[in-house]
Amino acid sequence: MAAISHRREKGARTFSTMPDSAVRLLSVVKNYDRQRAVDNLSLEVPAGSIYGFIGPNGSGKTTTLRLILHLILPDQGIVEVLGERGTRAANDRIGYLPEERGLYKKMTVQRQIGYFGRLKGVSGPLIRKRTEYWLDRLGLADRIGAKTESLSKGMRQKVQFITAVIMKPDILILDEPFSGLDPLNLETIRKEILQLKREGTTILLSTHDMTAAENMCDNIFMIDGGKKVLDGPLSKIQENFGQDTIRVRLRGNEFNSWETLPGVSAVRDQGRYQELRFKGDSGEIIEQLSRLGVVEHFEIVQPSLHDIFLRLAAGDKPPEKESEPSDE
Which residues here bind ligand ATP, judged by CB under 6 A? Answer: 32, 35, 37, 55, 57-63, 99
Query: 199-227 burial, b for 16+ CB within 10 Å, e for fewer?
Result: ebbbbbbbbebbebbbebbbbbbbbbebe
Q: How far is the CB of 212 from ligand ATP (least distance, A)?
A: 15
**Cβ at position 200, least distance to ligand ATP in Å:** 27
Q: From CA 54, how far away is CA 231, in angstroms rounded?
A: 10
Closer residue to ligand ATP in complex, CB, 73/294: 73
Residue with smaller CB distance to ligand ATP, 63 or 201: 63
Q: How far is the CB of 288 from ligand ATP (least distance, A)?
A: 40
- Residue pair 54/12 in contact (Cβ under 8 Å)? The answer is no
| Shortest separation between residue 94's beta carbon and ligand ATP, angstroms | 17
Write down the H helix ranges in the chain.
61-68, 88-93, 109-119, 124-137, 153-165, 183-198, 210-216, 234-241, 282-292, 305-313
The CA-based diameter of the chain, rounded to the nearest angstrom, is 73
Least distance (Å) between residue 326 CB and ligand ATP = 40
d(CA 166, CA 251): 54
Closer of 54 and 165 to ligand ATP (Cβ): 54
CB of 137 to ligand ATP, least distance (A): 28
Closest to ligand ATP by CB, 273 or 309: 309
> Quick check: 105 and 149 in contact, CB under 8 A?
yes
In this complex, which beta carbon is closest to ligand ATP, that of residue 167 or of residue 172?
172
- Please report which residue ranges of 39-123 form alpha helices under DSSP H: 61-68, 88-93, 109-119
23/122 with CB nearer ligand ATP: 23
Closest to ligand ATP by CB, 52 vs 60, is 60
**Residues in the chain, how many?**
328
- Scored b (16 or more CB within 10 A) or e, 140-166 reads beebeeebbeebeebbbbbbbbbbbbb
What phi and psi values does residue 239 have, to the nearest 5 degrees?
-55, -40
Choose between 59 and 157: whose C-beta lies nearer to ligand ATP: 59
Please give the Cα distance from 32 to 30 (Å, whole number).
7
Q: CA of 319: how far to CAs of 168, 237, 314, in Å?
A: 40, 9, 14
CB of 186 to ligand ATP, least distance (A): 19
CB of 60 to ligand ATP, least distance (A): 4
Cβ distance to ligand ATP smaller for residue 147 or 227: 227
Provide, rounded to whole angstroms, the least separation between the CB of residue 63 and ligand ATP. 3
SS3 state at 280:
coil
**The residue type at 45:** V
Q: How far apart are CA 79 and CA 87, in angstroms?
A: 10
